[in-house]
Amino acid sequence: RSSFLSVQDLRVRFRTEDGIVKAVNDLSFELEAGKTLGIVGESGSGKSVSNLAVMGLHNPRNTTIEGSVKLEGQELLGMPQKELEQLRGNKMAMIFQDSLAALSPYYTVGRQIAEPFMKHTGANKKQGRERAIEMLAKVGIPQPDKRVDSYPHQFSGGMRQRAMIAMALVCNPKLIIADEPTTALDVTVQAQIVDLLKELQQEFGTSIIFITHDLGVIREIADDVLVMYAGRAVERGTMREVLKTPQHPYGWGLLSSIPRINASVDVPLQPIPGTPPSLLNPPSGCAFNPRCEYREQVTGDKCRTERPALEIANGHLSACHLTAAQKQSILTEQILPR
């Protein structure tokens, strides 16, 4: 596998008044060029934090990062901020959930799209403006030559999200990290934004990391999926493997929270009972054990005392002490028929 982005043993720790938060632990994944990796998990599972670290956007005063993040073979961790700034917006860009926070209210949308382009290509103002209009047209904003002079508050939420995508793509980055980019939008606009990202990916060959808690969106966009829980990867595989034959009790819980495509009535989503653990003081053993209804099926007290490693079971990686045979029978007899 040609690895475009390779993250190895990533660890992120924050210092807080209450102690050290172990936000990301021993996280490894690869992303191939032109592909989409979906990262799924509840809030506080480390999915955003790990990606801010990839981008070098963490706060260096209270955060320590270990491990390795290589983009086309180039190590990003420990790279001087100046060099990272050269890469951000140019070779890699980020799309956030909150476009109001990501766009400045004081400048026109056009100017904010043009800025990274001018900075990284040396284009002048006129060329920057033309490029902004071109990008607004690409992301489907009507009358881009007029809208280029609007301010963010004059755009609807969906249009602002498109403008933010235009800003992220203005330098044809090779990597886009989209952190819950559709969460604040209604379902129709969500679907349009996902389609837009897919189209742009086809056109530019961009690699995408798509962070979400929504498996429905993952099904639409991801080639590979990484499921995170309590700052660790608990499952990793192709989208089909992880969505059709999940091998981890947390993944089983997530599965029951996706709306069925062919459901004739709206089946209410079932959230996973319990709350995500504190990362200040994570549970010993398997971090999911306080919420897991299968832990009694594991011999002895292993779930509470021993952290399960990420291992292949029934085709892809999962971190759970149940045997492959147990997982298979629970999946086929209890989970899939639900």
Task: Check residue 88 and report its DSSP letter.
Answer: B
User: Which of 309/336 has CB closer to ligand SF4?
Assistant: 309
28-39 burial, b for 16+ CB within 10 Å, e for fewer?
Answer: bbbbeeebbbbb
Q: Does residue 201 belong to the site contacting Mg ion (CB under 5 A)?
A: no
Q: Which residues, 48 to 67, sit near Mg ion by CB under 5 A? A: 48
Our CB check for Mg ion shows the closer of 225 and 331 to be 225
Classify residue 278 by burial, with Cβ atoms within 10 Å: 0-12, 13-18, 19+: middle
Q: Do 184 and 158 form a contact (C-beta atoms < 8 A)?
A: no
For the bound state, the minimum distance from the C-beta of residue 278 to Mg ion, rounded and expressed in Å, comes to 17
Contact (CB, 8 A) for 152 and 109: yes
Stretch that binds Mg ion, among 41-49, 195-203, 263-271, 272-280 (CB under 5 A): 41-49
Please say which residue, 42 or 306, places its beta carbon nearer to Mg ion.
Answer: 42
Q: State how far the Cα of 165 lies from the Cα of 309, in Å rounded to an integer.
A: 37
DSSP-H helix ranges across 60-104? 81-87, 99-102
How many chain residues are in contact with ligand SF4, going by CB under 6 A?
A: 14
Contact mark string toward ligand SF4, 285..314, x via CB under 6 A: -x-xx--x-xx--x----x----x------
- Nearer to Mg ion by C-beta: 132 or 185? 185
Q: Are strands 36-40 and 63-71 parallel, antiparallel or unpaired?
A: unpaired
CA pair distance 223, 89, nearest whole angstrom: 24
- Per partner kind, with CB cut-offs from 5 to 8 A, the member of Mg ion, ligand SF4, none near residue 289 is ligand SF4
Using CB under 5 A, list all residues that contact Mg ion.
48
Binding site for ligand SF4 (CB under 6 A): 248-249, 286, 288-289, 292, 294-295, 298, 303, 308, 320-322
